[in-house]
Amino acid sequence: MTVAKSWRSPSAEYHNYMTNILFPVFSNTFMSLSERENSTKDFGTFLNTFTEFSNTVLQEVGPLTFSGFLESGLTSPFTTGLVIEVSYDDHNDDFNKLKTFFYDENFELVSKICTQYGFSIDKNAPWRFVADIGSEAMQEYIFGLPLSGIEPLDVNDLTDCEEPIVNDDINQRNEPSAYSQVVGLESVLRHSPGYRPYRAAETSVYSRQPYETVFAAAYRDPYELDIPFLQVYLLDFYNRHILKKPYYEETPQNTRVCNPSQTVLIERDEASPSVYEVFSRKWALKTYYMLRCEEKKLHKSTKEKTKDFRNYFYPKGDFKLIEREYRRKSLAPEEKVDRSIIDKITDYFSETITPQGETIKTAQAERIQTPPLPPTSMPAPNLMAQSPQKINGLTRSEQALLSPSDKIIAART
C-alpha cells in the first residue's frame, strides 16, 4: 500500500488562497471601478479601499486572516498532519467507493489493521485514514509503552534543531517492543518507544486529555501569525496592483471657466515594509478585531465594539486595582546607595534566610544591649572567712606537714 496524499503546509495553502483566489477578485473585479482606482493614491488610501473590500469579501468569497482560513472549509484536512490517503480517486464518485473499496474482500482486514494501529477510516472516502488521537491504540504509539529492562532507542526523536532523526542503520530497525495493553489487543506487539515531546508532557497512556497534550506539544496557535501574515499580504496586494496599474487620474481644481482643468496621470510610489511604522499597534489590533468579528459572524453593535476597545486598551477595572494598591505608597524613586563589593560580600556572609523566612545573623553579630544586674547586699561579717591563726609564724597545717628546714624558710616569709 502506497501513500498518495499526506501533509500539506497550512501557510502554503493560505498563500495559494490569498494570491490565486483573493488577489484576482480584488484587483480585477473590486478595483475595476474608476472611482476606487483613482482614490487609491498611496498605501494609506489603499488601506481605506481594502477596508471596504474586506466587508464585501468576507460575505461573498471567504476569510482574510490565517485563523479564519484554517477554520473555514477552504483549507484541506491534510494541513493537520493527521490524515493520509492511499488513492487519488474522486470523492464524488460514490459508485467507485462501493465497488473498489467497501465491496473489496480485503476491506474488513484493512479496517481491523487500522483499528490496531489507532487509525479510523473516513466513511465518505474509504481510502482516507485518520489518526484517532483519542483511541487507546494511538496513545500507545504517542506516549510509548513501558519497556521492562530496555532503554528506548532515539528512533522517534528530534535533533537540537527539532528535525526528525532518520536512522537507516539496519541494527536500529529492531526497536524495543512491548505487547499492547489495550483490552482485546493484548497479542499485538508494538514498536512504540514513544515520542520525546509527548513523554515530557508527563501524560500517561489512556489519558483523558490526549488532545490537549498533543496539540500543546506539536501545534502552534495560528492567531500568533494572523497580524504578521496579514501585513505581508496587504503590502503585496498594493505593490502588485500598482505594478499592473502604476498611474491614477487626478483633475486639479480650477475656477476659470475659459480654461477648464485637464486630467493628469500621477504615478504611485511602491511601498516598503517600513510603511507600517506610521501605523500604531492599536490600528493593527483594531483592524484584526474587526476582521475576526466578521469572520466569526459576531454581529456586535457599534456600542459593543466600542466597549470591547475600551476594556482592552483602557481597562478601567485594572486601573482601579492599581490605584487602591498604591494609594498609601510613595511614588518617589528610592535613592540608590553606592556600596562597595566588600560591603556586598560582608552582607552576603552576615545574613542567612531560613526556609521559614527568618533572617539569622552569622558573620556580623548584632550589638546586644545587656541589662544591668539587680542590686545585691554585702555579705554578713560573720560569714566572711577569717584569717588562720599562726604559732611561731606557722599555721597548723604548716606545722604538721613541713619539714624542719621548710618550717624555718616559711617562718621567715
Beta bridge partners of residue 128, listed in sequence order: 85
Give CA–CA dist 174/154, Å, rounded: 12
- Count of alpha carbons within 13 angstroms of residue 193, beta-carbon side: 16
Give CA–CA dist 388/374, Å, rounded: 34
Q: Which of 144-158, 254-268, 330-344 has the highest mean pLDDT?
A: 254-268
- Count of alpha carbons within 13 angstroms of residue 96, beta-carbon side: 9
Secondary structure letter of residue 187 according to DSSP? T
86, burial (CB in 10 Å: exposed 0-12, middle 13-18, buried 19+): middle
Amino acid at 96: N
Beta bridge partners of residue 91, listed in sequence order: none
pLDDT in tens, 384-402: 555 556 666 777 777 777 7
Domain boundaries, the chain: 132-218, 281-325
Residue 147 pLDDT greater than 90, yes or no: no
Q: State the pLDDT confidence band at 250, using cuts at 50, 70 and 90.
A: confident
pLDDT in tens, 19-49: 999 999 999 989 888 888 888 888 989 998 9
Give CA–CA dist 15/8, Å, rounded: 12
Query: What is the dihedral angle through the alpha carbons of 134, 140, 144, 147, rounded to the nearest 10 degrees?
Result: 160
> What mean pLDDT is predicted for residues 300-311?
83
Yes or no: say if 307 and 286 are a contact pair by the CB < 8 Å rule.
Answer: no
- Count of alpha carbons within 13 angstroms of residue 350, beta-carbon side: 9
Report which of residues 333 and 100 the model is more confident about: 100
Give CA–CA dist 393/408, Å, rounded: 9
Residue 383 pLDDT greater than 60, yes or no: no
Give CA–CA dist 248/219, Å, rounded: 45
pTM for this model (two decimals): 0.67
What pLDDT is recorded for position 15? 95
Residue 368 pLDDT greater than 50, yes or no: no
Buried b (16+ CB within 10 A) or exposed e, 249-272: eeeeeeeeeeeeeeeeeeebeebe
Find cell 498518495 and name the residue: 4
Find cell 502552534 and name the residue: 220
Amino acid at 377: S
* Average pLDDT for the chain: 79
Instruction: Pull the grid cell for residue 60.
Output: 461573498
What interhelical angle do 210-218 and 136-143 show, nearest 10? 40
Q: State the pLDDT confidence band at 146, using cuts at 50, 70 and 90.
A: confident
Yes or no: say if 249 and 34 are a contact pair by the CB < 8 Å rule.
Answer: yes
pLDDT in tens, 174-218: 556 788 888 888 888 887 777 777 765 544 444 457 788 888 888
